[in-house]
Amino acid sequence: MMCAAHTGGRTLVIDHAKAPGEKIRISGGGRCNFTNLYAEPANYLSQNPHFCKSAMARYTQWDFIDLIGRHGIAWHEKTLGQLFCDGSARQIVSMLIEELQKAGADLWLNTSLSGLRHADGQFHLELDREGQRVSLACANLVLASGGKSIPKMGATGLAYDIARQFGLRLTETRPALVPFTFSDERFKPMAGVSLPARLSNDRASFDEALLFTHRGLSGPAVLQMSSYWREGEEIRVNLVPDISLFELLRDQRQTSGAKALTTELARHLPSRLVDHLAPELGITGNLADQSDTALRQITDRLSDWSLTPSGTEGYRTAEVTLGGIDTDGLSSKTMEAASFPGLFAIGEAVDVTGWLGGYNFQWAWASGHAAGQAIAQRV
Ligand SMILES: Cc1cc2nc3c(=O)[nH]c(=O)nc-3n(C[C@H](O)[C@H](O)[C@H](O)COP(=O)(O)OP(=O)(O)OC[C@H]3O[C@@H](n4cnc5c(N)ncnc54)[C@H](O)[C@@H]3O)c2cc1C
């Protein structure tokens, strides 16, 4: 829709869904985290980390903020530069529909593709539109059908299939921004417990909320790390990233030695978590009973807990697909396939994946704008 709003000519958006922009509608708890104040290329994963630079520089978060301002959509920053609608995510969907209609583009819902070939410089599409067969041809075809995340919401691998059909390469695709699962039920007793934590590995580190679930770990810190994690690898969890727990406990030992260690720890960590970890970490007795070595051992474990997830919840709940259409085959200025003029790919279908926090929508807006402008210049 963003692309169609910028093509400046006759453009048709085809979607098999009943309603447009469904991921926008449900995102951000219904308020859509539509961009991030601090969005920059470093917030994106791709085999070519430079690829997103050009499009992102030509359509920034400020451009999108300006656009929603013109539509009177009120917004606020929640945290870490994440911008949400004050009202409803539906306002963003309505705005995009209005923009594409204003540009003279059209939107066909309940429409699926049953055949596609290229001949005589045109793409020939066979469509099933609400049960009716329709054939049409176009000079430019933009693959904007997203990734594989959440098939229940209509995600398919269509963009990848078409890319392959026209000889484009794909990078490996994997679910990302997705909760971790564990083969045992060790976290079940703590389901619902949430706390600020630092999750890290050799490649990345995130300070955000960690949430224990029946199946494993979730929350923003975990979703972020999942994009940097591979099967079999461990992640490190610091449950007390903002305090020097050892020093705090040592000081408390002086003044309140008769206090139970679990009680003192529960001032800094959720008590259900302390109770759960107590047997494993040997947390027992009063503060006065603890030697420096014992305190050090406990606090080291709390600040450097090593975990190896058995997997993730997969595409069923993943917010995005990591990987996709190989950027090597696309122009970073126009999103057009170098080997197949007239074929474009934008958004999540491309091997550009943002962090959690409005970055993925910003990429969708920026890449859609880049392709739209390129098409406008040739219509
Ligand atoms: C639960 C959830 C919450 C999210 N929250 C945020 C957030 O707050 N901020 C953020 O930046 N990102 C968020 N994301 C990620 C963001 O939604 C996507 O990265 C973004 O929507 C990608 O845009 P896109 O246009 O490339 O693809 P999509 O938004 O997925 O749009 C693709 C469209 O193509 C259609 N389509 C798919 N297959 C076919 C087919 N075979 N035939 C016809 N049509 C087809 C679909 O119906 C869909 O309308 C969230 C994702 C999820 C799942």
Closest by Cα among 166, 142, 155 to 316: 155
As a whole number of angstroms, the distance between CA 231 and CA 258 comes to 45
17 lines ligand 1 (CB under 6 A): yes
Q: Which listed CATH number (2.40.30.10, 3.30.70.890, 3.40.50.300, 3.30.43.10) goes with 179-312?
A: 2.40.30.10
The pLDDT value given to residue 61: 98
245 touches 296 (CB < 8 A): no
Sign of the torsion angle spanned by Cα atoms 94, 95, 98, 103: negative
Cα 379 to Cα 7: distance, rounded to the nearest angstrom: 8
pTM: 0.97
Indicate which residue's Cα is closest to atom 28 of ligand 1.
Answer: 146
Locate all alpha helices (DSSP H) within the chain, ordered by sequence: 22-30, 53-58, 61-70, 90-102, 158-165, 220-226, 245-255, 261-265, 271-281, 292-303, 359-376
The DSSP H or E segment spanning 117 is strand 111-119
Asked if residue 286 has its Cβ within 6 Å of ligand 1, the reply is: no
Please tell me the distance between residue 80's alpha carbon and the centre of ligand 1 in angstroms: 22
Question: Is CATH 3.50.50.60 what the domain over 4-175+321-376 is classified as, yes or no?
Answer: yes
DSSP-assigned beta bridge partners for residue 117:
124
Distance CA 28, CA 11 (A): 29
Ligand 1, atom 3: nearest CA belongs to which residue? 27
Per-domain boundaries in the chain: 4-175+321-376, 179-312
144 lines ligand 1 (CB under 6 A): yes
Q: Which of 24, 27, 344 best tests ligand 1's pocket when mutated (most atoms within 8 Å of CB)?
A: 27
What's the gap in Å between 146 CA and the centre of ligand 1? 5
- For ligand 1, whether the C-beta of 156 sits within 6 Å is yes
**Would the CB of 361 count as within 6 Å of ligand 1?**
yes
Residue 49 CB neighbours (<10 A): 13
Quick one: CA torsion of 367, 371, 373, 374, rounded to 10 degrees? 140
Could you tell me the distance, in angstroms and rounded to a whole number, from the CA of residue 23 to the centre of ligand 1? 5
* 22, 145, 164, 359, best to mutate for ligand 1 pocket (most atoms within 8 Å of CB): 145
Distance CA 164, CA 166 (A): 5
Tens-binned pLDDT, residue by residue, of the chain (379 aa): 999 999 998 899 999 999 999 999 999 999 999 999 999 999 999 999 999 999 999 999 999 999 999 999 999 999 999 999 999 999 999 999 999 999 999 999 999 999 999 999 999 999 999 999 999 999 999 999 999 999 999 999 999 999 999 999 999 999 999 999 999 988 999 999 999 999 999 999 999 999 999 999 999 999 999 999 999 999 999 999 999 999 999 999 999 999 999 999 999 999 999 999 999 898 999 999 999 999 999 999 999 999 999 999 999 999 999 999 999 999 999 999 999 999 999 999 999 999 999 999 999 999 999 999 999 998 6
- The two structure tokens encoding residue 293: 């070595």
Residue with tokens 């302390």: 274
Tally Cβ neighbours within 10 Å of residue 292. Answer: 11
CA of 326 to the centre of ligand 1 (A): 19
Among residues 39, 33, 145, the alpha carbon closest in space to that of 89 is found at: 33
Q: For position 379, what pLDDT does the model report?
A: 67
175 in contact with ligand 1, CB cutoff 6 A: no
